[in-house]
Amino acid sequence: MTHARHAAEFVAHTERARWHDDALWYVREKRDTAARRIPEWEPLREAAAAIKRHTVAHLADHLERFEQNAQRLGAHVHWARDAEEHNEIVLELLRERDVRRVVKSKSMLTEECQLNPHLERHGIEVTDTDLGERIVQFRSEPPSHIIFPAIHLKRGEIGQLFHEKLGTEPGLEDPTRLTQAARAHLRNKFLEADAGLTGANFAIAETGGLVIVTNEGNADLGTSIPPLHIASLGIEKIIPRSADLGVFLRLLARSATGQAMSVYTSHFHGPRPDGELHIVLVDNGRTQLRADETLRDALSCIRCGACLNTCPVFRRSGGYSYQTPVPGPIGSVLSPSRDPEAHASLPHACSLCGSCSDVCPVKIPLHHQLLAWRGRLTEIAPRSRLERLAYAGFARSLLNVRRFRALAGLGRWFLRRLPRGILYHRANAWGRQRELPEIPKQSFRDAYAAGEHRERR
Residues 15-54 that bind other proteins (CB under 8 A): 17, 21, 25, 32, 35-36, 38-39, 41-42
Residue closer to other proteins by CB (options 183, 453) is: 453
> CB 445 → other proteins: shortest distance, Å?
6
Residues with Cβ < 8 Å from 223, sequence gap 6 or more?
A: 196, 198, 229, 268, 272
Query: Binding-site residue total for other proteins (CB under 8 A)?
Result: 77
Radius of gyration of the chain (CA): 26
Task: Return the residue of 180, 339, 445, 451 that touches other proteins, per CB under 8 A.
Answer: 445
Among residue numbers 399 through 438, which ones bind other proteins (CB under 8 A)?
A: 399, 401, 404, 408, 411-412, 429-430, 432-437
Residue closer to other proteins by CB (options 163, 348) is: 348
Among residue numbers 317 through 336, which ones bind other proteins (CB under 8 A)?
A: 317
Residue closer to other proteins by CB (options 266, 310) is: 310
Task: Return the residue of 19, 26, 394, 414 that touches other proteins, per CB under 8 A.
Answer: 394
* Binding map of other proteins across residues 344-383, x = CB under 8 A, - = no contact: -x-xxxxxxxxx-xxx-----------xx-xx-xx----x
Amino acid at 336: P
> CB 308 → other proteins: shortest distance, Å?
14
Task: Return the residue of 310, 323, 324, 335 that touches other proteins, per CB under 8 A.
Answer: 310
Under rule CB under 8 A, residue 308 binds other proteins: no
Residue closer to other proteins by CB (options 243, 448) is: 448
Residues with Cβ < 8 Å from 80, sequence gap 6 or more?
A: 86, 89, 280, 281, 282, 283, 284
* CA atoms of 94 and 77, how far apart (whole Å): 15
Residue closer to other proteins by CB (options 191, 392) is: 392
> CB 296 → other proteins: shortest distance, Å?
15
